[in-house]
Amino acid sequence: MADNRPFYYGLGKRKSAIAKVRLFTDGEGKVVINNESLNKYFFSILGENALAPLNMTEQAKKVDIEAFVYGGGKNAQSDALRLGLSRALILMDPALRAALKEAGFLRRDSRIKERKKPGLKRARRAPQFSKR
C-alpha cells in the first residue's frame, strides 16, 4: 500500500518477531497489518493486545496504522506490534510517554530462545543416561 502521507515510525521486537509500524496522524482508525485487516491477521485477543496502547491513550479513532510483521508466532508478533506502536505514539506525542511507561508498554521483553549446546539434545536436555 503506497502512502505518501507523513508518518511516525516505531520498531518493536519480541523473541524472533519484528514489527515495523507506521503511524499516520490524519486517520480514522484503519489498521493494516501485512496488507490485511487487523481482524483478518490476528484473533480478537491478540488484536486487542496489539492495540492496547492506542485504546489506553484514546488515539484509536484519530490515527491510521500500517505495520509489517514477520518472524516468530502470532503471539510474539502481537507483542512486537504493541511495542512498535508505543514507540511511534511517543514520537507523535511525547506527553504520552509517562502513561505508556507506567502501563509497561515501553519495556522490551528480552527473553529469547536459549541456544542449543554441543553434547546436549536441546538447550539443557541431556541424552538419556544408561548405567550399563
pTM reported for the whole predicted model? 0.90
Q: Could you state, in order of their start, the residue ranges of all structural domains in the chain?
A: 7-103
Q: Which residues lie closer than 8 Å to 78 by C-beta, 6 or more apart? A: 42, 46, 47, 49, 50
CA torsion sign, 75 to 81 to 86 to 87? Answer: positive
Rounded-to-integer distance, Cα 20 and Cα 11, Å = 5
Instruction: Calculate the CA dihedral of residues 123, 79, 84, 82 and round it to 10 degrees.
Output: -160
Amino acid at 117: K
Predicted confidence band of residue 100 (pLDDT cuts 50, 70, 90): very high
Per-residue pLDDT tens for 41-87?
998 899 999 999 999 998 888 999 999 999 999 999 999 999 999 99
pLDDT in tens, 23-33: 998 888 899 99
- Architecture in CATH of 7-103: 2-Layer Sandwich (3.30)
Give the pLDDT of residue 2: 58
C-alpha cell of 3? 502512502
Cell triple for 73: 508466532
